[in-house]
Amino acid sequence: MPTHTTAEIIPPVLPPSRSAANGTTASLPGEMHDLMNGHLREEGLPEAHLPALPISRVLKGQKALVTGANSGIGQAVALALAHAGADVVVNYVSRPEAAEAVVREATRCGVNAYAHRANVAREDEVQGMFQTMIREFGTIDILVNNAGLQKDAPIDRMSLADWQFVLDVNLTGQFLCSREAIREFKRRGVREDVSCAAGKIICMSSVHEVIPWAGHVNYAASKGGVMLMMKSIAQEVAPHRIRVNSVCPGAVRTPINMEAWGTPEAYRELMKLIPYKRIGEPNDIGRAAVWLASDDSDYIHGASIFVDGGMTLYPGFETGG
Ligand code: BGC
């Protein structure tokens, strides 16, 4: 079974003509579009259309840090926040050139951005990253705990190292970054000119915080952990007007899960799990993150927002029970 780490992921950098230039971050390569709509035609279902509305500048003047932002969902979130007017720190652990490409794309939105290498599982590196951000940007308003990876294996073949590695990055990494962000949010309090909250944390979880996943026990355990970590932090820091929520993506077209969507057969199988009959795009998650970070969602707190085309709706029951 393939394993993926952030180091192995090739970033699908958005073509400028379809991103910053027209005010959206939507980008769907033709091949993927054909695969999706070919399948829908075969099944006699309506064609899939993606959101076309530009992202409005609801985060103007805010300072955001997105971990694991040099590829996949993290990249899309960093660019969506930039489109919404936030200055962005693009955290990465490998492939600096990919991080720099995201920085260049973000600055085309008229915001400040820079890349910072740090392993989120290392306390000293996380603390250094926050110190640099506070020096460069003055403070932090939005943390997106996105960095995550899979190292899949059947339970009886999973090494302790692979169990530990996934827990370290996916769960401990989110703890370390949340702790530093909350220290700064509490120190600083509300910046009324930019937001009515003292800070926002968005944890990137997964449908697998509730759906068990055979062959992926380390990953599912990490995301189940993220759920109760997020909710416990949310309960604790709410009186300080710090909002904490999760986005739980379903199957999103990124390199982490290419085997699930990369061929017509795989795509057909995948659609059995998705009532909305299209794969998620990274920008679907970007838009959800912008909304959760903005005052539009000020009363949303401690929530797991599933962005999954209905994957958590027990799709096996579509045709009976
Ligand atoms: C995983 C993907 C998977 C999706 C739905 C995500 O959290 O990272 O690999 O396709 O869940 O199963």
- pLDDT, tens only, 174-199: 999 999 999 999 999 999 999 999 99
CATH for 21-46+54-309, options being 3.40.50.720, 3.40.50.2000, 3.30.230.10, 1.10.3080.10: 3.40.50.720
**23 HSE (CA, 13 A, CB side):** 6
pLDDT at 22: 32
How far apart are alpha carbons 255 and 3 in whole angstroms? 11
Our answer on whether the CB atom of 257 is closer than 6 Å to any ligand 1 atom is yes
Nearest CA to ligand 1 atom 12: 251
Burial group, residue 266, by CB count within 10 angstroms (0-12, 13-18, 19+) = middle
Does ligand 1 lie within 6 Å of residue 251's CB atom? yes
Long-range contacts of 123-126 (CB under 8 A, 24+ apart): 123/176, 126/173, 126/176, 126/177, 126/180
d(CA 112, ligand 1 centre) in Å: 31
Protein residue closest via CA to atom 10 of ligand 1? 251
Kindly report whether the global pTM for this prediction surpasses the value 0.85.
yes
Count other Cβ atoms within 10 Å, centred on residue 310. 15
- Is any atom of ligand 1 closer than 6 Å to the C-beta of 248? no
Percentage with pLDDT > 90 across the chain: 81
**Residue 3 scores a pLDDT above 50:** no
Q: Is the pLDDT higher at 246 or at 22?
A: 246
C-beta 260 within 6 A of ligand 1: yes
Give mean pLDDT, residues 233-254.
98
**pLDDT for 292 beyond 80:** yes
E strands, 219-310, are 242-249, 304-307
Is 210 a pocket residue for ligand 1 (Cβ < 6 Å)? Answer: no
Distance 282 CA to ligand 1 centre (A): 12
pLDDT digits (tens, 9 = 90+) for 122-164: 999 999 999 999 999 999 999 999 999 999 999 999 999 999 9
- State if residue 101 touches ligand 1 by the CB under 6 angstroms criterion: no
Residue 29 — very low, low, confident or very high, per pLDDT cuts 50/70/90? low
pLDDT of the residue at 57: 97
What confidence score (pLDDT) does residue 28 get?
A: 59
Domain ranges of the chain: 21-46+54-309
**For residue 211, which atom of ligand 1 is closest to its CA?**
12
Pairing state of beta strands 3-4 and 150-151? Answer: antiparallel
* Atom 4 in ligand 1: residue holding the nearest Cα: 251
Check pLDDT > 80 for residue 15.
Answer: no
Please list the active-site residues. 219
Flag whether pLDDT at 18 surpasses 50.
no
Q: Please determine, for residue 20, whether its predicted confidence score (pLDDT) is greater than 80.
A: no
- Kindly indicate the confidence band of residue 319, based on its pLDDT and cuts at 50, 70 and 90: confident
| Lowest-pLDDT choice from 21-30, 33-42, 188-197, 235-244 | 21-30
Per-chain mean pLDDT for the chain: 91
Q: Which atom, in ligand 1's list, is nearest to the CA of 256?
A: 9
State the distance from the centre of ligand 1 to the C-alpha of 257, rounded, in angstroms.
6
pLDDT average, residue stretch 79-96: 98
Residue 179 CA to ligand 1 centre (angstroms) = 26
Query: If pLDDT is split at 50, 70 and 90, which confidence band does 10 have?
Result: very low
pLDDT-derived band of residue 7, with 50, 70 and 90 as boundaries? very low
The amino acid occupying position 259 is: E
166: Cβ below 6 Å to ligand 1? Answer: no
